[in-house]
Amino acid sequence: MSPTVPEVLGDRVQLQQVLLNLIVNACDAMADNPPEHRSLFITTKAVAPDAIRISIADGGTGITAEPIDAVFEPFVTSKRNGLGLGLAICRSIVDAHGGRMWAVNNAGTGATFHVLLPVVPAVTDTLAASNGDDARSDTVAISGSPSTA
Ligand SMILES: Nc1ncnc2c1ncn2[C@@H]1O[C@H](COP(=O)(O)OP(=O)(O)OP(=O)(O)O)[C@@H](O)[C@H]1O
Ligand SMILES: [Mg+2]
């Protein structure tokens, strides 16, 4: 996560759970990929003026559910041992934080899950006063293959 985006006010453990669920899902979706094609991209972006967006993009199977938003419904799963509750819980946590989340299939392979969270107003004001920028982004790439890191 980038230190240059504004902070959000939230339950640290719950928001960690959201990110963990999305990362595990992304890894599951790439399980059949050869190691050099198991890259995960986590991007944080300040969405001016009052929200940040976290995006988790993978190169996996892509979402086969129709419509795509069905993956957020409870007990929707394509996994032999899945409960289909991870994304439903994620969405309820994000909703409780005043944000929203959605998913898209990538133009190439895989899917991207976006989480939009409101910025603490005081932090927004401070940022605006100290920095004229209205949006920045930072991406972290995590690769399944050390040779491609
Ligand atoms: N990154 C992804 N790429 C492709 N499909 C995905 C991705 N994330 C989720 N899905 C689809 O959405 C379904 C629901 O995901 P969800 O996390 O809610 O449940 P699950 O992973 O199947 O089980 P669990 O309750 O253990 O998390 C998955 O079974 C999968 O079909
Ligand atoms: Mg899951």
Whether 42 is in the pocket of ligand 1, judged by its Cβ within 6 Å, is no
Residue 4, CA atoms < 13 Å, CB-side half-sphere: 10
Q: How far apart are the first and last CA of the chain?
A: 17
Q: 6 lies in a domain? A: no
- DSSP state, 7? P
The number of distinct structural domains making up the chain is 1
Considering the entire predicted model, what is its pTM?
0.86
List the structure tokens of 132: 């004229």
The set of residues, in sequence order, having a beta carbon less than 8 Å from that of 124 and lying 6+ positions away, is: 6, 49, 50
Q: Separation of 78 CA from ligand 2 center, angstroms?
A: 10
Q: 147 lies in a domain? A: no
pLDDT exceeds 60 at position 133: no
Q: Which residue has the higher pLDDT, 70 or 1?
A: 70
Whether 29 is in the pocket of ligand 1, judged by its Cβ within 6 Å, is yes
Domain at 55, CATH number: 3.30.565.10
Reported as a single tens digit per residue, the pLDDT across 16-57 is: 999 999 999 999 999 999 999 999 999 999 986 789 999 999
Whether 63 is in the pocket of ligand 1, judged by its Cβ within 6 Å, is yes
Reported as a single tens digit per residue, the pLDDT across 52-101 is: 999 999 999 999 999 999 999 999 999 999 999 999 999 999 999 999 99
Q: 148 lies in a domain? A: no
